[in-house]
Amino acid sequence: MKKALITGITGQDGSYLAEFLLDKGYEVHGIVRRCSSLNTQRIDHLIEGKYGNEEKIVLHFGDLSDSNSLNRLIDKFEPCEIYNLGAQSHVQVSFDVPEFTSDVNALGALRLLDSIKEVNPKIKYYQASSSELFGKVKETPQTENTPFNPRSPYAVAKLYAYWITINYREAYQLFACNGILFNHESPRRGKTFVTRKITTGISNILKGKQEKIILGNIDAKRDWGFAGDYVEAMWLMLQQNEPDDYVVATGETHTVREFCELAFQHVGIKLVWDGEGISEKGIDYKTGKELISISNQYFRPTEVDLLLGNATKTHNKLNWEPKVSFEKLIEMMVDSDINT
């Protein structure tokens, strides 16, 4: 039985990847941080023993900032694949905690790679790289060859992780891959990322629990896909003959504004806009009620205005295609939030 170790298993991607690998017959181990309140909601249905089911995931305490815990787990459980999904993954928060973000996102990758090199260089390694590396984009659409220009402590830390992955591949012949993934969302997306903030906001408004949604830059453009589709690409990268780096994206870009319009449209509300800049409002066309307002609080010191991926290499080499459309993704997220 193949064994995989996942960092960030309690996160959105970790939970989908764990399910995907279990379906493939893997024994799945996950690293979790000690937390003052339980944070395993996304994987509770998979935890070994909890529901009397044997072939499930096994969790171990560890932390990307603690080399000893990583070395010990890699040595003890002898995984054949490691997926490094753990990160302080919120771009805006990285401006508030830049040092922590750098330690976990940049040096965390180094710690894992160095442990692989020392313990067992045959272990295959996946690095969760990001379209945020492109930042202030130099060309559109972005491919594996587009120059990087990171715009946040998060992205700068991920740039280190990207290059140290390549360096360990070249210097020590590790099977180490970067997946340069564009934004991917799901009903399990963290509630402070813009898509889920909008879909939970709509659900709360309909249930009378919230008056309106307060957002920042609604003209930012993103290439949004479905997380469930993207974890397959991660796995495919590690099944190839040679390690390489791949862009994973849908090839469509939309503004946050469009996301809002379609999400409200799905619940029968036509959203119209009034005003400009910080005074702009999203209004229910029928009732005139203000549903969206803009606040400086959610603008970033440096913004990434436009992301649009070209995943041709991934389509051709990995035979991977996204299955869930932008519209379907929004419907899935809104419906899920309304029904829970």
Q: Judged by CB, which is closer to ligand NDP: 186, or 203?
A: 186
Which one-letter amino acid corresponds to residue 198?
A: I
Question: Least distance to ligand NDP from the beta carbon of 181, Å?
Answer: 4
Residue with tokens 């997306």: 189
Separation CA 146–CA 140 (nearest Å): 9
184, 221, 254, 266: residue in contact with ligand NDP (rule CB under 6 A): 184
* Contact of residue 12 among ligand GDR, ligand NDP, none (CB under 5-8 Å per partner type): ligand NDP
Per CB under 6 A, 210 contacts ligand NDP:
no
21, 43, 73, 87: residue in contact with ligand NDP (rule CB under 6 A): 87
Question: Least distance to ligand GDR from the beta carbon of 337, Å?
Answer: 15
7, 40, 178, 183: residue in contact with ligand GDR (rule CB under 6 A): 183
Per CB under 6 A, 39 contacts ligand NDP:
yes
Asked if residue 125 belongs to a known ligand binding site, the reply is yes
Q: Judged by CB, which is closer to ligand NDP: 229, or 261?
A: 229
Question: Least distance to ligand GDR from the beta carbon of 325, Å?
Answer: 19
167, 210, 217, 255: residue in contact with ligand GDR (rule CB under 6 A): 217
Per CB under 6 A, 215 contacts ligand GDR:
yes
Instruction: Say if residues 170 and 113 touch (Cβ distance below 8 Å).
Output: no
Instruction: Say if residues 94 and 157 touch (Cβ distance below 8 Å).
Output: yes
Torsion of CA 257, 226, 39, 54, to 10 degrees: 170
Query: Cα angle at 250 between 248 and 256, to 5 degrees?
Result: 110
Write out the binding residues for ligand GDR, residues 257-296 only, by CB under 6 A.
none
* Contact of residue 78 among ligand NDP, ligand GDR, none (CB under 5-8 Å per partner type): none
Please provide residue 65's backbone torsions phi and psi, each rounded to the nearest 5 degrees.
Answer: -90, 5
* Contact of residue 39 among ligand GDR, ligand NDP, none (CB under 5-8 Å per partner type): ligand NDP
Question: Least distance to ligand NDP from the beta carbon of 285, Å?
Answer: 31
* Contact of residue 14 among ligand GDR, ligand NDP, none (CB under 5-8 Å per partner type): ligand NDP
String marking each residue 142-181 x if it binds ligand NDP according to CB under 6 A: ---------------------------------------x
Question: Least distance to ligand NDP from the beta carbon of 211, Å?
Answer: 27
Instruction: Say if residues 294 and 277 touch (Cβ distance below 8 Å).
Output: yes
* Contact of residue 40 among ligand NDP, ligand GDR, none (CB under 5-8 Å per partner type): none
| 338 CB-near residues (< 8 Å, 6+ apart) | 202, 203, 206, 267
23, 35, 54, 242: residue in contact with ligand NDP (rule CB under 6 A): 35
List interacting residues with ligand NDP (CB under 6 A): 7-8, 10-14, 31, 33, 35, 39, 63-65, 85-89, 104, 128, 130, 181, 183-184, 190
List interacting residues with ligand GDR (CB under 6 A): 89, 91-92, 130-132, 182-183, 192-194, 197, 215-218, 220, 222, 256, 298, 300, 303-304
Binding residues for NADP(+): 125
